[in-house]
């Protein structure tokens, strides 16, 4: 297990913009506020979204399109660095008008309304590196 400890920095609450793309908005907040490491949650509603499931054998993401309006029951994720840029890793649970849920890696989503809580973590930044065993970019030793 690779472990790094941080101190809490600022905590941001944000109302995301109607019709914006959710991952882009979260990335923009991290950039504009200078957050290199953080964790976040979001609740709200999306106009449409794209989830993904990682194929653990083929080492590829399989896309899952979610058409039509859905509740963003919750999204949770983190911010760290990859290739010297801020990288947002987010997972989400979505629900339709009857409460039926779909979940996975959140690739993108069109915001209807979304309330974000971003906790800045202060310490040596985590850097994602390619991990041959999984094919993913995971936190490395640096």
For its own copies, the binding residues in 76-115 under the rule CB under 8 A are 76-78, 80, 89-105, 112-113, 115
Q: Quick one: which of 30, 66, 86, 88 contacts its own copies (CB under 8 A)?
A: 66
Confirm or reject binding of residue 130 to its own copies (CB under 8 A): no
| DSSP element (H, E) containing 29 | helix 22-32
CA 24/CA 108 separation, integer angstroms: 8
Cα radius of gyration (the chain) = 15
Alpha carbon 77 to chain centroid, angstroms:
4
Confirm or reject binding of residue 30 to its own copies (CB under 8 A): no
CB of 26 closer than 8 Å to CB of 117: no
Indicate the residue among 109 and 139 with the shorter CB distance to its own copies. Answer: 139
Confirm or reject binding of residue 21 to its own copies (CB under 8 A): no
Confirm or reject binding of residue 67 to its own copies (CB under 8 A): no
Determine the 3-state secondary structure of 53 from DSSP: strand
The nearest distance, CB 91 to its own copies, in angstroms, is 4
């Amino acid at each position: 297990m690779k472990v790094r400890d941080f101190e809490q920095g600022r905590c941001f609450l944000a109302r995301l913009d109607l019709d914006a793309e959710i991952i882009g908005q979260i990335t923009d907040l991290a950039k504009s506020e200078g957050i290199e490491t953080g964790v976040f949650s979001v609740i709200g509603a999306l106009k449409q979204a794209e989830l993904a499931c990682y194929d653990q054998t083929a080492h590829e993401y399989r896309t899952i399109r979610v058409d039509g309006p859905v509740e963003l029951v919750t999204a949770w994720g983190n911010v760290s660095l990859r290739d010297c840029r801020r990288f947002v890793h987010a997972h989400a649970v979505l629900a339709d008008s009857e409460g039926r849920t779909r979940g996975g890696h959140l690739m993108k989503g069109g915001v209807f309304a979304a309330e974000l809580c971003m906790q800045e973590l202060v310490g040596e930044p985590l850097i994602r590196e390619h991990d041959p065993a999984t094919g993913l970019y995971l936190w490395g030793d640096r």
